[in-house]
Structure formats: C-alpha cells, structure tokens
C-alpha cells in the first residue's frame, strides 16, 4: 500500500522534533549548574529598604505630592464605601426589610395599612 509522501515527511519531522526536544529539556535543566559554578552571571548584593531609601534622591519621584494625595483619597473613599454599606445593613435590619422588598420597592404589610388609613 502506498502512502502519500506528506505523511512520511510529517512523521519524520515529528520523530526529529521529539528527539530534539528531549535533549533541549536536559540541557535547559543542567544549564544553571555551570553558569552558577563559573559565575557567568553577575549577582549584586541585595539592598535593604533603608539603603534604598538613603540612596534614592527625593526629587526622583515625579508628582510625589499628587500621588500621595490620590493614594490617601483612594483609601478614604474605600472606607466610606464600607461605612455606607454598614449603615444600609443596619437600617435594613432596624426597619426589618428584606433584600427582595428593597429590590421590588415594596412596603411591609403594616406600613401598607398605615398608608391606606392616611397615617
């Protein structure tokens, strides 16, 4: 039975690629050992936060004041959102409203009676 030439070419390429990738994985896994042993990559000493702040000039941060104010405002507004949510939950609990009643804009049955009576 004759096979098309394209199928044999794909199989031979797949076999070559599979063998090539097997070798590449081993080389990649073993590469850090000689690189570290022969110090081929220069590694600087880690700086502490104090060293970094001492060596960085103060004027190197553009718009430092604006960034500080915006950061504080982000924090303040997120805290206000939590306060508003807490107040909403507190009022909902005191008035004994369910989430469904709030979403459907319905009143409690005793409030409906008072509204009909004109109180």
CB contact at 8 A, 106 and 99: no
Record the pTM.
0.38
Collect the ranges in the chain with pLDDT lower than 70: 1-4, 17-25, 58-59, 107-119
What pLDDT, on the 0 to 100 scale, is given for residue 69?
94
Cα–Cα nearest to 19, from 7, 29, 31, 27: 27
Task: Work out whether the CA dihedral 3, 9, 10, 16 comes out positive or negative.
Answer: positive
DSSP 8-state symbol, 106: P
What pLDDT, on the 0 to 100 scale, is given for residue 109?
59
CB contact at 8 A, 107 and 101: yes
Alpha carbon 112 to its chain's center? 47
CA atoms within 13 A on the CB side of 3: 7
């Amino acid at each position: 039975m004759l096979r098309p030439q394209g199928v044999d070419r794909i199989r031979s390429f797949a076999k070559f690629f599979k063998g090539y990738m097997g070798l590449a994985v081993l080389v990649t896994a073993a590469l850090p050992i000689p690189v570290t042993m022969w110090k081929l990559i220069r590694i600087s000493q880690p700086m502490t936060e104090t060293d970094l702040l001492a060596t960085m000039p103060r004027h190197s941060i553009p718009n430092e004041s604006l960034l500080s104010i915006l950061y504080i405002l982000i924090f303040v507004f997120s805290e206000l959102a939590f306060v508003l949510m807490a107040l909403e939950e507190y009022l909902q609990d005191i008035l004994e409203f369910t989430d469904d009643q709030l979403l459907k804009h319905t009143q409690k049955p005793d409030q409906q009676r008072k509204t009909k009576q004109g109180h």
